[in-house]
Structure 1
Amino acid sequence: MTLATQSAVAGATETAPGTLRDLLDARGPFVSVYFDREVRPQQAGEAASRWRGLAGRLAKDGADQRALDALTNRVLDSLPGTGVLAAFAADGEVKHVVDLPGPPRGDLVEAGPLPHLLPLLEWRQDHPAHVVAVVDRTGADLLLYAEGATEPVRRTVTGPDDEILRSRGLPQMRFQHRAEDSWEHNATAVAEALEKALDEVSARVLLLAGDVRARQYLTKHLSPRVRQGVAVGQVSGSRSEDGSSGERAAQVAAEAAGAGRRETAELLRRLAEERAPGGHAVEGVHDTLGALAGGRVATLAVTDDPRDARTAWFGPAPTDVFERSEDFVPNGGGPAVRARLADVAVRAALLTGADVRVLAPDTPGAPAQGTGGICRYT
């Protein structure tokens, strides 16, 4: 088997929890921007004017002018473009930028003591780890997407046996057996490479495209662990240059988003189950902030509602999170700071190694008061 890495783009690092923790460690206040760039090239001037209007509004609200100037340069340099530009600035410089592919989501700008990460985390959960395998009878092209990756790692797998061609005088039955043996060997090699790829990005979604018979051989040789623990789906297209890549990319994006929604549904199911006496669920502002202050939360579920004006307090340490400022006991590390409740909860979750699941307003089964989670221990 030959396994070639054609390109390795670490796009996932741009939205990875470690990167976001580094951003949270920076000194605020922050200006957070989600700017839609989905305009035609001839409309770049309109987009620039739209940005200047947003920046002017932030300036009137008291946002740091140096941060706004740095963001203006970054936004204008990115035009014309596609997708959403997520950018976070503090202390007069842009601290982090992520290009978020996908449809427009509406401009959003905020200034506050913390970066507003919920839209970025929501985008990330719509892009769970997955692997795409475009197969034929000689091997496969693999696309490895880590969770939140903006670009895949691309690999080519070439099986140990060459394509079997019909030779003059070779009986049909003998030719068929030789060909099927060759395809079996190549499918086994692809299955082995796929299992390693799924483990590498911790993916539980596998999408197959390409030759129908090759997919059948491959599915046969997937290990029981993959068949039982990974959702296997189908998308269109082949390894040849047939113009199907664009359609396949759209199908892959839709399948990945569907997998993300299923993960959210599973979390809500677990929340309902763990609400029982002795369970590991917490919900409501008071209990959830208490669990975050104790470092007990494994997965935070929080509603992102732009109309939600509730606030909480945070201090220098990851577990410094409070409903009221008088609950904070200074230890020489700095004062408590007031910020949006959801941003405070997300900060504490990320800095203590918890996962975060962002819920839309009015999500059925959401935790009370839009804030809750699953704890590591009761």
Structure 2
Amino acid sequence: MHLSLLQPIIDRPGPWASVYAEVPHSTEDAAKQRELSADAAARQLAEQGADRATCDAVREALAGFRADGDSAALAGRAVFATDGEVVLDTPLAGRPAQPFAAWSPLPRITPWAEAAADNAGCLVVYVDRMGANFELHDDRGGAEAGKVDGVDWPIHRTATADWSERHFQTAVENTWEQNAGEIAEAAQRVFDSCGAKVMLLAGDPRERRSVHDKLPEQLRAVTYESDHGGRAAGSDSTALARDIAHVRAVHERDHVADVLDRFRAGAGVGGTDPAYAATGVPALVEAAREHRIDTLIISPGGADAGREVWVGPGADQLAVRNSELQYLGETNPSAARADDALLRSAAANGAEAVVVRDPAEAPTGGLGAVLRWSTPTQHE
């Protein structure tokens, strides 16, 4: 998963309030439940030493939430606040594995990563011979992402076979091909800008195949086709929803498998040297400080996840020992969890993360990384 959503909280000084809460639905007392949950979270934060203004900001955010529209499908929320302000309030498609409120030097972002791991966005392209509509589907549902209209004449073939009509039919087919090219170009632009990880073409079989063939190779590799749904009003179907869920799951499974293969081989993104993979907190901390992490691997419950490391206000300020960070210039380091510190560094430096739920498949200790390069000397 990409970690750009975390940017607002990466380099802002703490301490931080991190709250993972369930979202009550479809009950007469949902508002009362939200209020009770908000009060409980604020009380827990205060007991841990959070300031009054931050507790009040969290309470207000949790109690004031209204689940409607796309948000009605949400089952949880993650709220991050500091210095009396909610900095990030993000939905969770599933209920938090363990609702909690924490006051800590770093935001508790690893539970967010665990919840977001399966939420690969799918760009659905509803195709016909005149253009396409785009929708982005994730665990929050579907949202319009734009449209493209091609040339609308000539667009329909005739049944006659004299020379003039054959000439006209050739022009029609040229229009189809031209429109397919415009759809493919627009699909590339929308895909790059919307954050989707996989694309699904639905609608006219001939046109979607033509669009597929005109996509850039990299996008074509993550593009699927569905025989269900279409551009016309009322074409959405339960079968299309199943196809969307299927391609999202397949993409996430294949991506995690690819990362694990790279990790096991030690190949990383630059070669076949075993030094392109790292495991163990000391090696991971060193790689994070040097911006060498390409993909961070996290396994929930791993022994290393909660191991203590030392951090400063900047994402690059992390160390295994307090004295080491002081030597690097941070005069007042704080203790933090290894998983949160490494994830913060990964987000700050453009890395991604994957969550491996099977401990047998995960790195020893539950934390690992595929590296961009093996050593600073090699990079130079």
Q: Does 1:142 align with 2:134?
A: yes
Give the drift of 1:186: 2.4
1:12 is matched with none
1:213 is matched with 206
Give the drift of 1:43: 3.5
Q: Does the 8 Å CA contact 1:125/1:148 hold for their aligned counterparts?
A: no
2:364 is matched with 368
1:159 is matched with 150
Give the drift of 1:274: 0.5
Q: Residues 164 and 350 from structure 1, CA distance in 2 versus in 1: closer, same or farther, beyond 3 angstroms?
A: closer
1:113 is matched with 105
Aligned counterpart in structure 1 of residue 282 of structure 2, from 282, 286, 291: 286
* C-alpha distance in structure 1 between counterparts of 2:7 and 2:55, whole Å: 22
Across the two proteins, how many residue pairs are aligned to each other? 359
Equivalent position amino acid for 1:68 in 2:
C
The C-alpha deviation readout for 1:225-276, integer Å capped at 9, x for no partner, is 544x334242731112216267645643553243123211111110001078
Identity %: 29
* C-alpha distance in structure 2 between counterparts of 1:123 and 1:155, whole Å: 28
* C-alpha distance in structure 1 between counterparts of 2:245 and 2:95, whole Å: 15
Q: Answer with 148-157 or 86-95: which moved more.
A: 148-157
2:297 is matched with 301
* C-alpha distance in structure 2 between counterparts of 1:50 and 1:223, whole Å: 48
Aligned counterpart in structure 2 of residue 188 of structure 1, from 181, 187, 199: 181
1:70 is matched with 57
- Counterpart secondary structure, 2:25: coil
2:13 is matched with 27
Equivalent position amino acid for 1:358 in 2:
V
Equivalent position amino acid for 1:158 in 2:
D
1:348 is matched with 345
Q: Does the 8 Å CA contact 2:38/2:58 hold for their aligned counterparts?
A: no
Equivalent position amino acid for 2:209 in 1:
Q
* C-alpha distance in structure 1 between counterparts of 2:290 and 2:211, whole Å: 47
The C-alpha deviation readout for 1:52-76, integer Å capped at 9, x for no partner, is 3343334334343332211111111
Structural mapping, 1:49-60, within 5 Å: 49-60=36-47
Give the drift of 1:36: 2.0
Q: Does 1:339 align with 2:336?
A: yes
- Counterpart secondary structure, 1:252: helix
- Counterpart secondary structure, 1:300: strand
Give the drift of 1:80: 4.1
Q: Answer with 197-206 or 105-114: which moved more.
A: 197-206
1:43 is matched with 29
* C-alpha distance in structure 1 between counterparts of 2:42 and 2:230, whole Å: 46
- Counterpart secondary structure, 1:42: coil
1:273 is matched with 265
Q: Residues 202 and 79 from structure 1, CA distance in 2 versus in 1: closer, same or farther, beyond 3 angstroms?
A: closer
The C-alpha deviation readout for 1:109-129, integer Å capped at 9, x for no partner, is 322111111233344443345
* C-alpha distance in structure 1 between counterparts of 2:297 and 2:43, whole Å: 34
Provide structure 2 residue ranges, at least 5 long, that are not aligned to the other structure: 375-380
* C-alpha distance in structure 2 between counterparts of 1:16 and 1:220, whole Å: 27
* C-alpha distance in structure 2 between counterparts of 1:189 and 1:61, whole Å: 57
Q: Does the 8 Å CA contact 1:138/1:163 hold for their aligned counterparts?
A: no
Q: Does the 8 Å CA contact 2:3/2:353 hold for their aligned counterparts?
A: no
Give the drift of 1:177: 5.1
Give the drift of 1:204: 5.5
Q: Residues 163 and 315 from structure 1, CA distance in 2 versus in 1: closer, same or farther, beyond 3 angstroms?
A: same
1:315 is matched with 312
Give the drift of 1:41: 5.0
* C-alpha distance in structure 2 between counterparts of 1:58 and 1:26, whole Å: 19
Q: Answer with 233-242 or 259-268: which moved more.
A: 233-242
The C-alpha deviation readout for 1:23-63, integer Å capped at 9, x for no partner, is 13222111111222141152312333234334333433434
Q: Answer with 108-117 or 43-52: which moved more.
A: 43-52
Q: Does the 8 Å CA contact 1:280/1:377 hold for their aligned counterparts?
A: yes
* C-alpha distance in structure 2 between counterparts of 1:73 and 1:333, whole Å: 34
Give the drift of 1:17: 4.2
Equivalent position amino acid for 1:350 in 2:
A
Structural mapping, 1:231-250, within 5 Å: 231-234=223-226, 236-242=228-234, 244=236, 248=240
Q: Does 1:256 align with 2:248?
A: yes
The C-alpha deviation readout for 1:5-28, integer Å capped at 9, x for no partner, is xxxxxxxxxx97455243132221
Q: Answer with 91-100 or 131-140: which moved more.
A: 91-100
Q: Does the 8 Å CA contact 2:212/2:223 hold for their aligned counterparts?
A: no
Q: Residues 320 and 219 from structure 1, CA distance in 2 versus in 1: closer, same or farther, beyond 3 angstroms?
A: closer
* C-alpha distance in structure 1 between counterparts of 2:125 and 2:292, whole Å: 38
Q: Does the 8 Å CA contact 1:29/1:112 hold for their aligned counterparts?
A: yes
* C-alpha distance in structure 2 between counterparts of 1:178 and 1:351, whole Å: 52
